[in-house]
Amino acid sequence: MEQMEQIEQTEERTYVLPASILIATVMISATWFYVEQQKNTKPNESNAPIAQTVGDMPGEIPNLSPEIITKLYDLGVIDKTKVQAELSTLNLLWAFGLANKNPILEQGPMTGSSEAGLSAEALAKAGGFASTGGWTLSVGDPMSHYSKHALVVLTSAQQELVERVSKNIYRPCCNNSTYFPDCNHGMAMLGLLELMASQGADELSMYRAALKANTLWFPNQYATIDRYLVARGSSLANANPQEILGRTYSSGSGFAQIAAAAPAEPASNRPPSGGCSV
């Protein structure tokens, strides 16, 4: 509060240099987006069942710091002229995952290349996915930011952890793991794992946060998985997050089999699930 009061006092002085005013404005904007980001990690309270489920699940989804959010704007990963309202945690992590320099984006399934760096051919291939071409909030071509900015730098051990965990986290919209982040949810999840690794999180914490994130991003699907588990004496809150995030439960084909075996729920109670766009 004291810091914000100092900023306000500074803005009231007409003799302050324009650069100082600009810096203060950026700081206020970053703080505002940080607060809104925290709000958007919470489930919609009008959807009581899934809100209760997420609340009962262990683990926490970390937020991007105001400093990282400011960099996303300063670097043009997010164009402030295109943002009319606060960005959700999903979209902020999507931007972060897309822009943060990482070998998974350069030498993984997105490019089909095993070589370091990004050739024109590799960039062209990577640019054809929903997670890249679908990011319409950047300054210029989104691929000009693809694996371009060292927002967080991982140690070799942290990178190995991200790669190992990402290969076992699926999403119900497709059959790809986070190691192949071809849609917004996959790219956002990659960003989440990179962020947590940079903060020193262990593997269990990453799986717990990832399961919470997937439950928020795919509430209908994970409400179904929860009903399936409850009918068998378990629940999302006490299940092994690594198992639930794996292909059997969380891939598109795996979820289809779970849904076919889960107790039905009235359509009026089903929460909406997000699509793969901004």
Enumerate residues 6+ apart whose C-beta is below 8 A from 120.
none
Question: In 3D, which of 176, 198, 197 has the Cα closest to residue 187?
Answer: 176
- The pLDDT value recorded for residue 277 is 59
CA 115, 121, 123, 129: dihedral to nearest 10 degrees?
-110
- The pLDDT value recorded for residue 165 is 99
Low-confidence residues of the chain: pLDDT under 50: 1-46
Question: In 3D, which of 172, 190, 191 has the Cα closest to residue 180?
Answer: 190
Q: Which two tokens stand for residue 148?
A: 């371009």
Q: What is the DSSP string of 29-98?
A: HHHHHHHHHHHTTSPPTTSHHHHHHHHHS----PPPPHHHHHHHHHTTSS-GGG--SPPPHHHHHHHHHH
Query: What is the pTM assigned to this prediction?
Result: 0.81
Question: In 3D, which of 96, 103, 95 has the Cα closest to residue 122?
Answer: 103
- The pLDDT value recorded for residue 114 is 84
Packing angle of the helix pair 2-12, 18-39 (nearest 10 deg): 140
- The pLDDT value recorded for residue 10 is 39
- The pLDDT value recorded for residue 82 is 96
- The pLDDT value recorded for residue 262 is 98
- The pLDDT value recorded for residue 116 is 79
